[in-house]
Chain A
Amino acid sequence: MAEVNKLTPKDFKSDQEVRWCPGCGDHAILNAVQRTMANLGIPREKFAVVSGIGCSSRFPYYMNTYGFHGIHGRGAAIASGLKVANPDLSVWQITGDGDAMAIGGNHFIHVIRRNIDMNLLLFNNEIYGLTKGQYSPTSQLGAKSKTSPFGTVENPFHPGELVIGAQGHFFARAIDNQVKVTTEIFEQAARFKGTSVVEILQNCVIFNDAIHEDIVSRDVRDDRTILLKHGEKMIFGKEKDKGLVRDGLKLKVVTIGKDGYTIEDILTHDAHEANPGMHLMLANMRYPDFPVALGVIRAVPAATYEERLDQQISEVQKQSKIKNMDDLMRTGDTWEV
């Protein structure tokens, strides 16, 4: 294996000035990614950060790793080619909600379906930042923006639902400014083999300020979100007295010690369960009926595309008599003059 070198977050900072708006959630995410990479024990030259186009997609320039700033929506495909060509790399895709789910929707679902081993960080600010404030595929129905001055008439995508629907094996959710928690989630994503999608609720201070505020502001966060951890009870709330239980085919929020509910009744999170039903319900929980789920919601190990491909290549190579082009050109129907 690669040498385990002691790197610090600073080692991952490039010499380029970070040009996001002051207060943009992207700054904190950059910080978390740099911390995560330093923790992983992977040499710096083995990291490749790939993106499409959007504010968030400027990310590779700020990273002192190999980086590729692609074209709008195509980051997933560029990263796929990169990883398949060299499975030895730790590949990270940075993408926005417009980049991944509008113009890049096709590549997004297909990289997940193929389960290419990469980490896809989806910065969800429910708006197009770079092009200055048009609604995006994650904007809520009725959201007002430059291209929906009277409110959108479109249903939004929910990233978790889309990921699980595309047979995703890893889905997590994080909040931009919770750097410590986010770093832990990124680490789990990085250590997961397969496509790991982390949706980060990111704040665009300029065009969609406070869009996630209902959920993420410090005073309400504990009551309106739940941080899921594999093997732990699904408990939340400032007083740690609320929990999730099963109610028929649905989930229900209960208070421990009320209506006869005890800690035993509270569900334990199993991120490794292959059946996606529970994960889908957890990913789809929305305020005010439910707390929004954070943390690793789904992490089910499975073979990756590039593993299968490399295995197939070595199996075929073992069996085939053709070892080079001279062999190939001289097999089959040939004749001599």
Chain B
Amino acid sequence: MATTKKKIEKEEVVIRFSGDSGDGMQMTGTQFSNTTALLGNDVSTFPDYPAEIRAPQGTVGGVSGFQLHFGNAKVHTPGDYCDVLVAMNPAALKANQRWVKNGGTIIVNIDSFSEKNLKKAGFDENPLPAFKKGDYNVIEAPIQTLIHEAVKDLGLDMKSIERTKNMFALGITYWLFNRPLNHTETFFEQKFAKKPEIIEANILALHAGYNYANTVEALSSHYVVKKAELEKGVYRNINGNTATAWGLIAAAEKAKMPLFCGSYPITPASEILHELSARRDLGVKTFQAEDEIGGITTAIGASFAGNFAVTTTSGPGLALKTEAVGLAVIAELPLVIVDVQRGGPSTGLPTKTEQSDLLQAIYGRHGESPAVVIAASSPSNCFQYAFEAGRIALEHMVPVILLTDGFLANGSEPWRVPEMSSLPAIKAPFVEPSEKEYLPYERDPETLTRKWAVPGMKGFEHRVGGLEKMDKTGNVSYVPENHQLMSEYRQEKVNKVADDFPLPYVEGADEGELLVIGWGGTYGHLHTAVTELQEEGKKLSFVHFNYIYPLPKGVEKIFEKFDNLLVCELNLGQFADYLSIKVPGYKYQKYNKVQGLPFTVDELKNAFNKILEDK
């Protein structure tokens, strides 16, 4: 059967599932990714969905997509262009046609290509003949007809039958890339344990799709993607939001402190709150506050009480929390504030990614109000940086803003699960109960942190709060010189956090024509673009920042060895401007994109080539 068809080996493949927002494309993509990761490929995913829960059906505005990229080596991005596009309706084709590679395969649900639907999608005429004439392999699968046929004996209602369309499409792609069906079957068995007919319908649809692909003449070949060479260990797929939540819990465990999260839902950060709320078994206390201000201030109260306190949000929420971040700064209490950035300003592009909260995070407060800012650079390393945010906050008694973004939050990749024993211990500077005298604002001479005494400790009663505090005693003080001293202490304390920061690693030669500079969630695309050009023999290097404020010490030593510095970011140049203040004397060229989309490797390569050729 299947084996009689041709097998083509490929190193990597990009697939994009697209359909109406009710078509279950996110689940389809997730199933494909999970199955693929289990087979030992490396995978990177990019869910892309509309802001409206239910935009008008069949329109381009309502199209939901899920792109994934897998390969036999490490893949760092979800890919620019896809080898296979699954389009469940004309609108999905319209929205995604420009992302199909030349020579790629387009699988459409031909049943939905009615005149009415074509019109709704904005096609003047059926585009499929044109694609067929071009360099595309178009598969017109009558998905609706075939699933009705496949599940007709189950006695299900129309709606339930139609809902299995996505499994038919998944079945086709499973055949195409030679994936086993059993992982998805088990998924349904667990998810719908109480609804056997739904399990059966989905499994039938999946098999129907698989068999259809096997028999249909249009699909002449199977593709084989070999396993990736991955480090030994236990793996799982993880997205950025889950990784962030887990990193925070891990930090609490390492610090041997209870975790408290005060938060208010906002896209794309809500899932962190969901994950934490599900972890009552690990003693996590989540408090869904009445608003963002309640979220952060309950967290500050919990921090005063001696918990590891966090609050999670996105840009608009961070704006609301601003005053309270200042309170944590002056109270010198540990606090982690996670900002999953999305397109702004205001409600902006709530489901899309952007890096434009950077300056808000660094500077967006009243008064001299320094806080640490760090950023994660891949879905799985959100774990590492959430953990690191906790470590810094707790050990240095400072608020730490952790920046991730919509792309990291929703994107996923296989992750080698660490052993907790391999993570560093976290030691908050709690006062020893045996100490005789407690001066709440006395500082450690090395780090300038104060000691932490929490309510309930006998003999350490003290007051903190928003009014300026006298050095050492912590009494309210309006003494002008004291305010300057305390302002300088708070700043210097944050500056000293950089003593622990490693210098960012330069990928490529440490001198040359072009240094590409990035930060946060753009790592995968920048790394891939730079590596591909390096493989072509181009002379360029790449440095990526996770520690933003304060900057690691000595970055000018990296910058000074390059003719061109190009700062690439998903905003209009905030990091470049920040660098020109903090590391002056260099010309920072900018490459910026603000479309609510990640970079593509292609556009980056073009931009780099232009500089390399221009010289």
Once the chains bind, are A80 and B283 in contact (CB under 8 Å)? no
Q: Which residues of B contact A47 (CB under 8 A)?
A: 455
Query: B454 — which chain A residues lie within 8 A by C-beta?
Result: 66, 86
For the complex formed, measure the closest distance between the CB of B87 and the CB atoms of chain A, giving whole angstroms.
28
- Please state if B285 and A309 are interface contacts (CB–CB under 8 Å): yes
- Interface 9-mer from B196-204, B218-226, B286-294, B485-493: B286-294
Which chain B residues in 414-473 approach chain A with CB under 8 Å? 416-420, 454-467
State whether the Cβ of A337 lies closer than 8 Å to any Cβ in chain B. Answer: yes
* A81 engages B465 (CB within 8 Å): no
Is there contact, CB below 8 Å, between A67 and B462?
Answer: yes
The reply on A106 being an interface residue by CB < 8 A is yes
A35 to chain B, nearest CB (A): 18
Residues of B contacting A51 in the complex (Cβ-Cβ under 8 angstroms): 465
**CB-based contact B456/A50 at 8 Å:** no
Cβ A106 vs Cβ B290 within 8 A = yes
In-complex Cβ contact of A81 among B230, B232, B299, B331 (8 A): B299
Contact pick for A70, options B279, B306, B465, B475, CB 8 Å: B465
Evaluate contact between A70 and B297: CB separation under 8 angstroms.
yes
Decide: A67 and B463 in contact? CB cutoff 8 A: yes
| Contact among A85, A106, A312 for B306, CB-based, below 8 A | A85
| In contact, A323 and B237 (Cβ under 8 angstroms) | no
Say if the beta carbon of A43 comes within 8 Å of chain B: yes
Chain B residue with the shortest CB-CB distance to A53 = B466
Bound: A307/B135 CA distance, A: 66
Taking the complex as formed, is A78 at the interface, i.e. its CB lies under 8 A from any CB of chain B? yes
Please tell me if the beta carbons of B307 and A68 are within 8 angstroms of each other in the complex. no
Number of interface residues, chain B, beta carbon within 8 A = 69
| B250 contacts across to A, CB distance below 8 A | 325
Q: Which of A217-225, A281-289, A327-335 contacts B (4 or more CB under 8 A)?
A: A327-335
The answer, among B323, B456, B465, for a CB contact under 8 Å with A46, is B456
Main secondary structure of the interface of B (DSSP, over half): mixed
Which of A143-151, A167-175, A314-322 sits within the interface?
A314-322
Q: Are A88 and B456 in touch, CB under 8 angstroms?
A: yes
Instruction: Report yes or no: A65 in contact with B461, Cβ–Cβ below 8 A.
Output: yes
Given contacts A70-B466, A332-B236, contact A50 B301 (CB under 8 A): yes
Interface residues of B in 315-334 (CB under 8 A from A): 323-324, 327, 331
Whether the pair B465, A60 counts as a contact (CB closer than 8 A) is yes
* B394 vs chain A, min Cβ distance (A): 15
**Nearest Cβ in chain A — how far from B421, in angstroms?**
8
Q: How far, in angstroms, from A80 to B294 measured CA to CA in the complex?
A: 9
Q: CA separation between A80 and B231, bound complex, in Å?
A: 46
Q: In the complex, A139 Cα to B362 Cα: how many Å?
A: 41
The verdict on A324 contacting chain B, using a C-beta distance below 8 Å, is yes
A247: Cβ under 8 A from any B Cβ: no
Contact flags (1/0) for B481-524 with A, using CB distance below 8 Å?
00000000000000000000000000000000000000000000
Q: What is the CB-to-nearest-CB distance from B205 to chain A, in angstroms, rounded to a whole number?
A: 22
A34 CA / B522 CA spacing, docked (Å): 57
Q: How far is the CB of B470 from chain A (nearest CB, A)?
A: 11
User: CB distance B463 to A69 under 8 Å?
Assistant: yes
B298–A80 touching, CB < 8 Å? yes
Answer whether residue B108 sits at the interface, using C-beta atoms and an 8 A cutoff. no
B306 cross-chain contacts in A, Cβ below 8 A: 85-86
Known A77-B297, A328-B249: A85·B419 in contact at CB below 8 Å: no
Nearest CB on B from A104, distance (A): 9
B37 contacts A335, CB within 8 Å? yes
Please indicate which of the listed interface residues B237, B262, B290, B324 has the most CB atoms of chain A within 10 Å of its own CB: B290
Contact string against B for A residues 43-68, beta-carbon threshold 8 Å, 1 for contact and 0 otherwise: 11111101101000000110111111
B299 CB contacts on chain A under 8 angstroms: 81
Once A81-B305, A329-B418 are accepted as A-B contacts, the answer to whether A312 and B280 lie under 8 Å apart by CB is: yes
CB <8 Å contact, A69 and B467:
yes
Q: Does B235 contact A (CB under 8 A)?
A: yes
B154: interface (CB < 8 Å): no
B189 within 8 A of A: no
Indicate whether A333 sits within 8 Å of B461 (C-beta atoms), given known contacts A81-B300, A84-B287. no
Q: Is the CB of B455 within 8 A of A89?
A: yes
- Complex CA–CA separation, A66 to B305 (angstroms): 10
Q: Tell me if B302 counts as interface (CB < 8 A to partner A).
A: yes
Question: B236 contacts which of A81, A309, A335 (Cβ < 8 Å)?
Answer: A335
Q: How far is the CB of B388 from chain A (nearest CB, A)?
A: 15
Q: Which residues of A contact B (CB under 8 A)?
A: 14, 16, 43-48, 50-51, 53, 60-61, 63-71, 74, 77-86, 88-89, 106-107, 110, 309, 312-313, 316-317, 319-320, 322-326, 328-330, 332-337
Pick 18 A–B contacts, CB within 8 A, sort by A: A48-B305, A60-B465, A69-B466, A70-B297, A78-B297, A78-B301, A78-B304, A81-B299, A82-B305, A85-B301, A85-B305, A324-B253, A328-B279, A329-B418, A330-B234, A334-B235, A334-B417, A337-B416
